[in-house]
Structures are given as structure tokens and as C-alpha cells.
Amino acid sequence: MADPRPAGSPLATLRPWLALLDRRRGRLWAGAALMALTLACAIGLLALSGWFITATGLTGLLLAAGVAASLEVYVPGGGIRFFAVARTLSRYLERLYNHDTVLRLLADLRARLFGVLAGLDAQSLSRRRASDWLNRLTADIDTLDSLYLRLLAPAGVGLVAILGLSAFLALFAPRVGLAVGTLLLVGWLWLTLGQARLGLGASRSQVTELEALRGRLVERLQGMAELEAYASLASHRRELAAIEARLYLGQRRLGLLVALGNALASLVVGLSMLLVLWLAAQAWAAGVLSGPLMVMMALALLAMSESLSSLPAAFTWLGATLGAAERLNELETRVERPLPVACVDDVTELADGPLAVELERVTLRYPGALAAALDDVTLHIAPGERLALCGASGAGKSSVADLLLRQLTPDVGVLRLGGVALAAWPEAALRQRVAALTQRIDLLDDSLAANLRLAAPEAEEGALWRALAWVGLDDWAQELSEGLATRVGEGGQRLSGGQARRLALARLHLREPSLVILDEPFAGLDADTAQALASRLDAWLAGRSVLYLVHQIDAGPIQPPAIDRTLTLSEGRLLTPHSETPPPAGGE
């Protein structure tokens, strides 16, 4: 399956990531220098060995023929040992140093992408499955690690080696240096640009197919029980098998292209050696070159196979790197733009205390949705008022919460907090003054203390115990062998649903917000626990503006604390007139 996205200029696609690499230019240049040193030692080892062996053989023949001859063996012998040891050492240091650099680059790339994802609102995140975002954070970033180590550095070092070796050979025979340099440059261009051109479409498709395979496999595993219950596993297996078949076909094609490139690399080096021998033999016949120098030139070229042999595979798969970069570049355009600063001073000068909330004729529609999530909604919450927003699942209650938390942006309408446009609030001020307890409880695979300190990073241990006591979890936590250091598991899986809910309430208690949004605060709690918490929550909410999101008031024994006013949402519309008059200040 070909990637339907249009491909732009490779340089333009890679520019943001090249700029990121440039932040570590010192390490990159040092790594490339180690690669060049390793190659130079390999060339020197073969060249000097060829000269020394040939010179030794010719000297022996002369001595056998009775001709007086001598040869200095200690200097070239020492040089051979030097190049052999230096090549081994530089190769080890190059691998160690460059792989450390790549790990640092991967950390930079992942940190950058995580920052981008953190800047996306819920509307942007909902456009793709969780498996797609995971694929970008892992597989796409892993694909980009070849940008330096397999593409830029080897190609650059190979080009420098070709120019340097050609100049070195030209010192002894200019015709040899020019001819060999031309042939190697043509081969280098094909092994880089030519191989990239041949494999561009196939390698780009491989990344797309792998992304589809990973995403569908994760989804099938997560929904295995449902698929088996509805006897749908067979069709989904056939879909996965079809993707795998396309992957194998693409891999086979790319493997053939890589094999072609490897054969051409060997052919270029072989032809270069034959060309050198032919031209050098002519120079030897003319008395311009000695026999040992002629052999030295040919063997020096043999070391170039070490530099050229790594290029075909890397550049044949260039399309995969470009595809990964294109998908990651798409995220950059979706990051929330910097917030306007016209009203920042007004926000920072707002007095402490409860915040007024205003939604004026707000309309919100999710991408691809058949109906609007919110349709021309107007509501007001006075400072200190407690408003209950009722409605069935899908009525739009959570969308109101996401708008106030600035996780969503309305298509139409205006939102204000404390009389200031919500878009003008600095992020830090908004997170400090507004807190929410949603249906989804986010817990990290870390300790109880670490999860509580997400709300108050500087909180002392005493404050954490008081928060746990507030929700009735202190006795349970004290019985744990590790106390606050006890890990809760991934997503809080080591806790019951009720414990996770109360831990989230304890986290909320550590904050001092001016507006509190509570989405079914007692969901998953037994009646006795909920009633005990209700009175404590009522006291804590005093002096704060509160928005309750509930299915129905008076629908059961568990009731939220005192409510000043109730509104009902149905299919994104308020069942009261949208021109509702704001209540008096204080909610009285």
C-alpha cells in the first residue's frame, strides 16, 4: 500500500531534524572524525603492506640473482603495526562514541516529540488511535536514528576518502588519481542518490505498512474477547495476513535492491583496482613508477570497499527515514499556537478566590462527527456558585469540561474565566486556578507519593498523609509494607477502582484551585464511603466555584454536596433557553 501523502523535498522534510542534530554538532564532527581515522588507517595498512610485501619480494629476487640490494624493514614494519593497532583502537572508540551519540540524539528526538504531543489538544489527539501516537513516539523515532549514523556520516566520510585517496595517488601518477577519482565519484553518486531513488517508494511503503500492522495488532489484542465473542477473528486475521504479505513482498524487493547496490559497490572497487593496475603498469613501463608503488596503489583502493559497502542498504531505505520524518513533521503543525498575551496582565492581577465562568453561544464539533458535541450553548457560573450540569452519556458534559480545561477549542463562541478570555490565560496560571476530577483516572507506574505529588510537587510527607486521611485511605496506606513508597502499577492496576478514585480525590485536595470541575466524583464508591466523603468535600469546596457533571440529580443514595443550580444538556443543547440570565454574584 503506497503512502498517499505527497512527498516534499527531502531536504525540506529533514530540515527540522537536521537542525536538532546541529545542537550536538561537536559530537557529530568528532564521531565523523573517528570514522575517517578508522578508514584512513585501513587504507594506510593495506597500502603500506602492499608496498612492503612487494619491495621485500623484489629485494629477495635481486639477492637471489646475485645483485647487491638492501631494504629498510624496521620503518615500514613499524608503520604496519601502527596502522593495525590504530585501526583496531579507532574502530572501537568510533563504535563506542557514535552509539553513545545516537542514544543522546534519540533522547533529544523523543523529548522533542513528547513535548509536541503534550502540546496537542484533545481534538487533535482524537484524530488518531493511541497506537498511532505510540508508533510515532517509538518506531518513527527509531527510524530517524539512522539519519546520522547510517546516512550522513558514512556518505560524508566516504566522499572525503575518495577525494583524499585520489589526491594521494595523483602525487605519484596524476593520470591514475584523476581516473580513479572520477570512477569512484560516479560510483558514490549511484550508491547514494541512485539507490535512494530506486528504493524510495518501496521503503516508504514499508514504514506505512508496519505502522498499520502495529496499530491493528494492538487493537486486535485489546479487543480479543469481543472479536472472539462475535466470531470476527477470522476476518481480522486475514487482514493482518494481507498486510504481512505486502510487507514481505516489499522487503524482498528492497533486499534485491540492496543486493544490487552491494554488487555495484564491489564492481566499482574492482574496476578501480583494474584501472589503477593498467595505468600504473603503463607508468612502470615508462619508468615513472616502481613496482612496489604500483601494487601499493591497487591495494590502497581495496580499502575503499569498507567505506562504500555500507551505503547501498542505508540509502535504499532512505524513503523510510523520509516517511518517518514527514509523519513527525505533521505533528509540528498541530501544536497549539502560542496564546495571545493581550490579557496576560489582567490574568496575573486577578484576585484570589472563586472564578466566574462564562460560555457564550459555544458550538463544538469533533472531526468527522455527524452532529455537534455542543450546539449554541450559553451558561454562566457566578463566583462561588455550584452548578450541576446533568445529562446522559454523550450529551456533551465532558466537552464542556474539556473546553474549560483548554483541551478543546470551540468552533464558535467565547469562553471567559474571571471575565478574561480563556485563550488569554497563561498555561501555568490556568493549571493553578482550575482543577478537575474526570472519569478517567491517570496514575503512573510509580509510588503513592509520586502520584500525589503530581498535584503539588513540593508537598511534604505530612501533607500527603493528610490528603490520604481526607479520603479515608490513610489506614490502608499505613498497613502497606512500603507505605507511601508503594508502587501503584501501570495505570493504577494494583489498586481497586474505588481506591484509584479516592487517590485522585486526595490529589485534588492537595491543590488550592478557584474553579473545581467534578465529573461523577463518587463513581465506583460504595454508599457509606461516598456519604462520608460528601461532607468533607462540601467543606473543602466552600469559597470555590464548582461545576458538577452528573447523569441525574436525585437518582440514587449517593448525592454530591449542596448544589445551587441545575442545568440539563441533551444532545449538545441546553434544555433551558440559551439566553439564560447570569445568576447574581455569589450564587445566592
Per residue in 379-388, pLDDT (tens digit) is 999 998 999 8
In the chain the domains, ranked by start, together with CATH numbers, are: 10-214+247-334 (1.20.1560.10), 344-443+499-587 (3.40.50.300)
Of 87-101, 328-342, 395-409, minimum mean pLDDT range: 328-342
**For 379, which DSSP code?**
E
DSSP 304-372: HHHHHTTHHHHHHTHHHHHHHHHHHHHHHHHSPPPPP-TTHHHHHTPPSSPPPEEEEEEEE--TT-SS-
**What pLDDT is attached to residue 338?**
42
Please check the confidence at residue 68 and state whether its pLDDT lies above 90.
no
The Cα 405–Cα 425 span in angstroms is 11
Q: What is the pLDDT of residue 183?
A: 95
- Name the pairing type of β-strands 515-519 and 357-364: unpaired
pLDDT tens-place string over residues 123-138: 666 667 766 777 777 7
* 70 DSSP assignment: -
Percent of residues, the chain, with pLDDT higher than 90: 29
CA distances from 259 to 152, 252, 409 (A): 21, 10, 52
Q: What pLDDT was estimated at residue 342?
A: 40
Q: Report the alpha-carbon distance of residue 510 to residue 462 in Å, rounded.
A: 11
Work out the pLDDT band at 2, boundaries 50, 70, 90.
very low
Place of cell 478574561: 420
* Per-residue confidence (pLDDT) for residue 78, from 0 to 100: 92
Write out the three cell numbers for 193: 542518490
- Per-residue pLDDT band at 177 (split at 50, 70, 90): very high
**Per-residue exposure over 237-249, b if at least 16 CB sit within 10 Å of its own CB, e if not:** eeeeeebeebbee
570 vs 223: CA distance, rounded Å: 30
- pLDDT for 187-239, tens place per residue? 999 999 999 999 998 998 888 888 888 888 888 887 888 888 888 888 888 99
pLDDT of amino acid 131: 67
- Which CA distances in Å does 537 have to 41, 303, 379, 381? 74, 76, 24, 19
Cβ atoms of 509 and 437 closer than 8 Å = no
pLDDT: is 279 or 109 the higher one? Answer: 279
What pLDDT is recorded for position 199? Answer: 92
Q: Is the pLDDT assigned to residue 1 strictly greater than 60?
A: no
Tens of pLDDT along 324-366? 888 888 776 554 444 444 444 445 556 678 889 999 999 988 8
- 3-state DSSP assignment of residue 190: helix
Residue 163 has pLDDT above 90, yes or no: yes
588 pLDDT exceeds 90? no
Residue pair 502/471 in contact by the 8 Å Cβ criterion: yes
pLDDT digits (tens, 9 = 90+) for 439-474: 888 888 889 899 898 888 888 989 999 999 988 888
C-alpha cell at 18: 537536521
- Rounded to whole angstroms, the Cα distance separating 41 from 199 reads 32
With cut-offs at 50, 70 and 90, classify the pLDDT of residue 543. Answer: confident
pLDDT tens, position by position, 284-338: 888 888 889 999 999 999 989 988 999 999 999 998 888 888 888 877 655 444 4
In this prediction, residue 426 carries a pLDDT of 86
Residues with Cβ within 8 Å of residue 489, at least 6 apart in sequence: 445, 495
Lowest average pLDDT, out of 333-342, 397-406, 410-419, 451-460, goes to 333-342
Number of H helices, E strands in the chain: 24, 10
pLDDT at 585 over 70: no
- Dist. CA 18–CA 10, nearest whole Å: 11
424 Cβ contact list (under 8 Å, min separation 6): 339, 340, 341, 342, 343, 344, 346, 347
Sheet hosting strand 412-417, strand order edge to edge: 374-381, 357-364, 412-417, 420-421
Who's near 582: CB < 8 A, 6+ residues apart? 358, 380, 382
pLDDT averaged over every residue in the chain: 84
